[in-house]
């Protein structure tokens, strides 16, 4: 998704009636974002420092429910999850995360025996790190897990689904054998979603993948673009068949 977004031309259509004061946050090179879930502030500082030096963007929260909220609304590329958290413990957080999406999780535990127990629980974590660890080791594990879990993104020339045909080379879209005129942003949104049918994208992800930068507080502009896009490609925009709303998350292109 990220690579596709990078290939697409920068485009931002002004939205009539949309938010007027959006803060720009340039997001250099669309670097990958790591979410640290850890209540030991000093440890967070050290890991954050190393990860940022390694080129990652870093978010951190000190409890499980905040982690779940971030993963729902602004999903990272990987979660570094401490097992021993105040309130909701790491195991429950991992379960919650898995109910939302399949973001890679590295569990951080205090003891080797704990690691064995966790592996037995088959929580769907992608790796385990035992404390104490060196920050360098964390960076290496993060890189390894990202390499292993990321599906190569191949950009096809044509995407077809039902009576929608997207010609990526010619920047053309047909719906029910009729050519439709999309704005560059609508085209980008459609391609990003249709390239991974069935995958739910948050509004923030859609913004980032089409623009290469984020506009804080402007996630609702995505809704306006989606509305216009549905009006152009759906037979009945009130009952969309192709672009589905994912309640509490965002949107997805239908998976046939």
Q: How far is the CB of 85 from Ca ion (least distance, A)?
A: 6
**Which residues lie across from 109 on neighbouring strands?**
130
Q: How far is the CB of 217 from Ca ion (least distance, A)?
A: 32
Whichever of 39 and 59 has its CB closer to Ca ion, that residue is: 39
Q: Of 13, 31, 84, 174, which lies in the binding site for Ca ion, with binding defined by CB under 5 A?
A: 84
Strands across the sheet containing 33-37? 57-61, 33-37, 78-82, 105-109, 127-130
Q: Is 213 in the site for Ca ion (CB under 5 A)?
A: no
Window contacting Ca ion (CB under 5 A); options: 31-39, 115-123, 159-167, 182-190? 31-39
Q: Is 82 in the site for Ca ion (CB under 5 A)?
A: yes
Whichever of 63 and 196 has its CB closer to Ca ion, that residue is: 63
Q: Of 39, 96, 127, 244, which lies in the binding site for Ca ion, with binding defined by CB under 5 A?
A: 39
Whichever of 93 and 166 has its CB closer to Ca ion, that residue is: 93
Whichever of 36 and 200 has its CB closer to Ca ion, that residue is: 36
Q: How many residues bind Ca ion (CB under 5 A)?
A: 3
Residue 68, CA atoms < 13 Å, CB-side half-sphere = 18
Window contacting Ca ion (CB under 5 A); options: 33-41, 117-125, 157-165, 224-232? 33-41
Q: How far is the CB of 144 from Ca ion (least distance, A)?
A: 23
Q: How far is the CB of 108 from Ca ion (least distance, A)?
A: 8
Window contacting Ca ion (CB under 5 A); options: 17-25, 82-90, 113-121, 131-139? 82-90
Whichever of 107 and 189 has its CB closer to Ca ion, that residue is: 107
Crossing angle of helices 220-233 and 184-195, rounded to 10°: 90
Window contacting Ca ion (CB under 5 A); options: 8-16, 35-43, 129-137, 146-154? 35-43
The region, left, alpha or beta by phi > 0 then psi within -120 to 50, assigned to residue 8 is beta
Residues 6+ apart with CB under 8 A from 73: 202, 204
Q: How far apart are CA 83 and CA 50, in angstroms?
A: 21
Q: How far apart are CA 192 and CA 197, in angstroms?
A: 9
Window contacting Ca ion (CB under 5 A); options: 76-84, 199-207, 218-226, 231-239? 76-84
What are the CA-CA distances from residue 144 to residues 36, 104, 148, 159, 234 (Å)? 17, 11, 6, 31, 41
Q: How far is the CB of 101 from Ca ion (least distance, A)?
A: 23
Whichever of 39 and 163 has its CB closer to Ca ion, that residue is: 39
Count CB-CB contacts under 10 A for residue 90. 24
- Judge contact between 75 and 98, C-beta under 8 A: no
Whichever of 62 and 244 has its CB closer to Ca ion, that residue is: 62
Q: Give the E-state strand segments of the chain in sequence order.
A: 23-26, 33-37, 57-61, 78-82, 105-109, 127-130, 158-161, 164-167, 172-175, 178-180, 201-202, 213-216, 243-246, 250-253
Binding site for Ca ion (CB under 5 A): 39, 82, 84
């Amino acid at each position: 998704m990220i690579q596709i977004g990078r290939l697409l031309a920068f485009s931002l259509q002004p939205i009539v009636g949309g938010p007027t004061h959006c803060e720009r946050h340039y997001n250099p090179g669309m670097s990958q974002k790591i979410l640290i879930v850890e209540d030991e502030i000093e440890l967070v500082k050290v890991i954050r420092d190393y990860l940022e030096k390694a080129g990652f963007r870093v978010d951190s929260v000190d409890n499980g429910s905040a982690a779940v909220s971030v993963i729902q609304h602004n999903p990272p590329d990987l979660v570094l999850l401490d097992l021993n958290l105040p309130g909701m413990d790491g195991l429950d957080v991992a379960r919650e995360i898995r109910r939302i999406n399949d973001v890679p999780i590295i569990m951080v535990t205090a003891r080797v025996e704990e690691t064995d127990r966790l592996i037995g629980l088959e929580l769907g974590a992608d790796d385990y790190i035992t404390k104490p660890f060196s920050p360098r080791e964390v960076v290496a594990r993060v890189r390894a897990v990202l390499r292993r879990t990321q599906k190569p993104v191949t950009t096809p020339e044509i995407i077809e689904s039902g009576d929608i045909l997207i010609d990526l080379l010619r920047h053309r879209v047909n719906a029910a054998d009729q050519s439709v005129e999309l704005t560059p942003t609508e085209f980008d949104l459609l391609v990003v979603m249709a390239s991974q049918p069935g995958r739910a994208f948050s509004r923030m992800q859609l913004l980032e993948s089409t623009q290469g930068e984020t506009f804080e507080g402007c996630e609702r502009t995505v809704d306006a673009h989606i509305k216009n896009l549905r009006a152009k490609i759906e037979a009945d925009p009130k009952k969309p068949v192709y672009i589905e709303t994912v309640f509490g998350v965002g949107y997805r292109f239908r998976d046939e």
